[in-house]
Amino acid sequence: MPTPNSPTPTIAPPAPTGWSEADLHALVASDFWYHTVAPRELILQYRGKHVAIFGEQIVDADSDFDELARRLNTKSDAIPFNRLLLRYVPTDEETVRFRY
């Protein structure tokens, strides 16, 4: 236990994660676009697929997530992974409907 006259131990800052604040803002902006601005007709054509969103556009999609990930990995020079948002668009049968 430190005494009142002993120096305060220095606490090291956490190691960087590789994700910048700008990356997080870009992801939030993409998520906002997907859920509120993107045309419903655009989203519905991807029913049953995983979509990759970069900025305000869907850059790739596939029903097989692993295949989508493989393709995105080959595009990592053009599309920064830290700013790539992945979502699944459910089919009509998978969509949960609520009644009020």
Predicted TM-score (pTM) above 0.85: no
CA atoms within 13 A on the CB side of 20: 6
Q: What is the predicted pLDDT for the residue at 97? A: 72
- Report d(CA 25, CA 93) in Å as an integer: 33
CA angle 87, 45, 98 (to 5 degrees): 65
Q: What is the predicted pLDDT for the residue at 96? A: 76
Residue pair 78/69 in contact by the 8 Å Cβ criterion: no
Residue 1 lies in a domain: no
Give mean pLDDT, residues 59-73.
95
Task: Please state the domain count of the chain.
Answer: 1
Q: Please give the residue range of the domain that contains residue 36.
A: 21-89
Give mean pLDDT, residues 3-23.
74
Q: What is the predicted pLDDT for the residue at 78? A: 86
Q: Could you tell me which residues are beta bridge partners of residue 50?
A: 62, 88
Residue with the bigger pLDDT between 58 and 10: it is 58
Residue with the bigger pLDDT between 79 and 33: it is 33
Residue 36 lies in a domain: yes
**Residue 1 pLDDT > 60, yes or no?**
no
